[in-house]
Every structure is written in C-alpha cells, then in structure tokens.
Structure 1
Amino acid sequence: MAKTATKVSKKAPAKKAAAPKAAAKASSKAAKAPAKAASKAAATKAAATRAPAKKAAVKKVAKASSSASSPILTLRHIAEKLSELHELPKRQANEMLTQVVEMIAKSLKKGDKIRLTGLGILQVRKRAARMGRNPQTGEPVKIKASKKIAFRAAKDLKESI
C-alpha cells in the first residue's frame, strides 16, 4: 500500500509536466488549421492551463492585502465599543446606531446638510446633465442629471491624520 501511494505521488508531477507539452502539441496541430480556429483553440487551452495559477495568485494577493492593511471598522464594532463604554447591551447600542444611520439617510434624501462636529459635513450635490463620449466608439453620449453624496472632512480630522 505504501509503495503504491509513493508511486502515485511520483507520477502526479510527471502528469503536470506533461500537460504543457500536450498543450504545445495541440497548439502546433492547431497552427495547421485555419487562423481563427487556431487562435480560439490556443486561447482556450492557454486559459485552461493558467486558470489555476491565476486563482491561487488572486487568493494570495487578497490574503496579503487583508493582513497588511488595517482592519475595517464596521457599525457592529462601533456598537460593541459603545456598549462596553456606556455599559449598555450590545443589541441596544446596535439599534441606536442603525437609527442614527436611518436618520442621516432620511435627511440626505430631503436635501439637508449634516454637520458632524469633528468629523465633517455630508451633503447632496446635484450634477447637471452633460455630454460625454463613448470610449469605444468615440460617439457623443448624453449623461443624465444626477445627485451624489459628498463628504467634506473637518479641519481637525484632516490635521489629526
């Protein structure tokens, strides 16, 4: 049993090494076919051989970026800290924060400015309709008027960072 397991593990790398050779043979055969068929076959086979490597690289980058950067502070984290500081149940602190967010959203829908001392100002700004260009074709496109939420940081916050 142990010998067969080692044989299988020895054969596995050989198959992995043979896969690029098979892709090279297939691409050389495809080169003899018409140009469109060759390019499609080569592209699909190349993508199939690179796909696992790309996925692994993306996972490594995602893990590295999440560990290297600072953690994200969510409303739940803020609620937990508030509940500890003010000796409140976590549920009550969470409900209070969600109500604050709802109040901010409602007042922004009305068009009000929201000044949060020490943090900054939230307000709705209107963007006028304008002409733009389609980057692929270059033809002019009409862009509708819209609204956006703008945040202007307070001077104290800017200086502290």
Structure 2
Amino acid sequence: MAETRAATFGGGCFWCIEGVFQRLRGVEAAVSGYAGGATEHPTYRQVCSGTTGHAEVVQVRFDPEQIGYRELLEVFFTIHDPTQRNRQGPDVGSQYRSIILYADEEQRRTAVELIRELDESGALTGPVVTEVEPLYAFYPAEPEHQRYYDGAPQAPYCRAMIAPKIARARERYPERFERD
C-alpha cells in the first residue's frame, strides 16, 4: 500500500467540501479546519470574523494508489465555483475563498496546470480565481465541525447546500464514490 498523502482545499464552507471528499474511494480522512492565515490555533469565531487571514479548508488524507491528487482537484472544481472571489453562495468573506494549499512542488504544478486547462476550456462563467499557495500550517476545526453533514443531513443548510454538491459530484464521477 502507498503512503498516505494529504491535500488541502478551501471552497466556501468546509462542511460542504468535507461532505463530498469523505465519500470518495481512496480518501482515508477529510478533516475540516483552517489554513492560509497568520493566527496560530484560530477558533471558528476568529476565522468567521475575517481577521485571521485563514480560510475554512478541508485536509484530505488519501491513498494515491486509489485516487490521485489530480482526481481530487477535479472533484474540488466540480463542487464549488472557482470563479467567485471570497464567497460561495450565501457564504461571503475571505474565509470562504477558493484556495488550494499545496504540500510540495508536484501538487503546485498539478493545480496550476489544471487551472490553466479550465481557463482555456471556456467551460466556466469566468476565469478561475482560486489561490494556489504553500501550506504552512493546518489547524483542525473544533469537534462540532467535523463530519457535520453526517450528523445533521436533514438540517436546512445541509439539504440546501451540501446534499446538492454530493449529488453533483456523484453524478459526474460515480466511479470515485464508495460510500454514502
């Protein structure tokens, strides 16, 4: 078995990103958290204030023999709008920005290449504004933010925001899903 790798993505509320990634074949864990800012060990309240520089992100631990980094990126770009700066749907602020935090040069190169391909394809409503930055630190979110969708699938936010993202990704990439 290959060594587990990590990928870190932000694209709006972390509950939405986590809800999709935790269902993918080859993903061993999807952990909601904060990254991309300067405040050490931030809290949810601090990040929501928009003053920490952090984004709500999900760190995905995956087995590259089962799912590749590029495949994860493709799913990521399916479940949020990478043409919106500092917002996703009703969530507004820099903490909801579209961001890829790379662990190494290979991840950076792959992300930049896919963004270029998306821009050149003309498939999106505008240019990709997703930030591509090195990951310096990842801070897991508080326990109540972990696996949120699994604990409250009938909550209005989950039904309106997360369930459609899961359905869209499952429809586009059915072979990549292994569980509900």
For normalisation by structure 2, the TM-score amounts to: 0.18
- Greater Rg over alpha carbons, structure: 1
Higher relative contact order, structure no. (Cα contacts within 8 Å, ≥ 6 residues apart): 2
User: Which of the two has greater helix per residue?
Assistant: 1
User: Which of the two has greater strand per residue?
Assistant: 2
For normalisation by structure 1, the TM-score amounts to: 0.20
